[in-house]
């Protein structure tokens, strides 16, 4: 099914079905967004761990100055 066919099908839905579809699509979009945020956070955590491991001696020496 093409995007154009989906768009046409949506425009022909009765209002109640359209509202149900809209609620489903919103929930689906939210799930995708949540998954993307979780992946981004995991990536940031990974980068932070690598940074800290590689720079631990530098960070430790800097904290000793204060």
- If the chain, 66 residues long, is cut into consecutive pieces of 10 residues, what is the mean pLDDT of each piece? 95 97 94 86 74 64 49
pLDDT at residue 58, as a whole number: 57
Instruction: Please state, in angstroms and rounded to a whole number, the distance separating the CA atoms of residues 13 and 6.
Output: 11
Q: State the residue for tokens 């761990």.
A: 49
pLDDT computed for residue 35 by the predictor: 87
C-alpha 33/C-alpha 46 separation (Å) is: 20
pLDDT at 56: 65
pLDDT in the model for residue 66:
47
- With contact defined as beta carbons under 8 Å apart, do 21 and 13 qualify? yes
Give the tokens for residue 19: 């509202």
pLDDT of residue 65: 47
Residue 61 is predicted with a pLDDT of 52
């Amino acid at each position: 099914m093409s995007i154009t066919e989906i768009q046409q099908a949506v425009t022909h839905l009765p209002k109640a079905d359209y509202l149900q579809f809209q609620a489903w699509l919103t929930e689906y979009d939210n799930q995708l967004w949540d998954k993307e945020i979780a992946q981004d956070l995991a990536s940031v955590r990974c980068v932070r761990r690598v940074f800290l491991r590689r720079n631990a001696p530098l960070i430790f020496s800097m904290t000793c100055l204060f």
